[in-house]
């Protein structure tokens, strides 16, 4: 357990809700960045694309990624200069000196946790796609929502409710999947 978790767990539930909400506002600001409007418009336009339009867009995006790799990432510059890529040697696909906009850590449920670093546009595109999907199901961005996820809202050994915290920024109840059991189900 790190120092931030220790401090968070020591707070009373209303203060934990405030911390969760502050983090929610931080995420909301990152998700609604400069490219967000452009990405929403792209997603809306893409719904009417033909198969040829999709292939053309994918080809342009792939060409842009390959160009960035060939000009900015030393590994690829060297590999492509020698005309041969050995995928077993690929260790890191990050532009030197680039700071990721967002770093996501997987749980490691398949054996090894993975760290994924993304740029601002990719991060906001993922959330714009999620918003578009939710909208197609009738869910508006300001709708109240409940999320059951691997969020440790309190220590795993604490089996007294509440097993949720409220994120005001996203009108979201975050339920701890870690505490869900037959014994705690009535509280949920």
Averaged pLDDT score across all residues of the chain: 86
Distance of CA 35 to the CA centre of its chain: 16
User: 53-67, pLDDT tens digit by residue?
Assistant: 988 888 888 878 878
pLDDT at 86: 52
Question: Which of 81-85, 128-132, 161-165 has the weakest average pLDDT?
Answer: 81-85
- What is the C-alpha to C-alpha distance for residues 118 and 30, in angstroms, rounded to an integer? 12
Residue 93 pLDDT class (50, 70, 90 cuts): low
Please name which of 102, 96, 136 lies closest in space to residue 119, comparing C-alpha atoms: 102
pLDDT at 96: 75
> Which of 33-42, 88-97, 109-118, 164-173 is the most confident on average?
164-173
- Token readout for 34 is 């400069």
Residue 109 predicted with pLDDT over 80: no
Intra-chain end-to-end CA distance of the chain, in Å: 26
User: 137-153, pLDDT tens digit by residue?
Assistant: 999 988 999 999 878 89
Residue 91 predicted with pLDDT over 60: no
């Amino acid at each position: 357990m790190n120092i931030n978790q220790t401090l968070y767990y020591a707070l009373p539930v209303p203060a934990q809700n405030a911390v969760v909400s502050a983090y929610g506002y931080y995420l909301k600001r990152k998700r609604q960045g400069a490219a967000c409007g452009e990405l929403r418009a792209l997603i809306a336009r893409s719904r009417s694309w033909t198969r040829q339009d999709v292939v053309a867009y994918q080809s342009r995006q792939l060409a842009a990624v390959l160009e960035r790799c060939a000009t900015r990432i030393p590994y690829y510059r060297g590999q492509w200069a020698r005309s041969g890529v050995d995928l077993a040697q690929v260790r890191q696909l990050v532009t030197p000196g680039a700071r990721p906009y967002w770093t996501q850590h997987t749980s490691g449920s398949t054996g090894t946790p993975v760290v994924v670093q993304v740029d601002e546009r990719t991060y906001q595109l993922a959330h714009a796609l999620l918003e578009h999907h939710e909208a197609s199901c009738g869910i508006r961005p300001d709708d109240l929502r409940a999320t059951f996820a691997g969020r440790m809202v309190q220590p795993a050994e604490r089996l007294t409710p509440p097993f949720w915290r409220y994120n005001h920024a996203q009108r979201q109840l975050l339920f701890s999947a870690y505490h869900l059991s037959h014994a705690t189900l009535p509280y949920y």
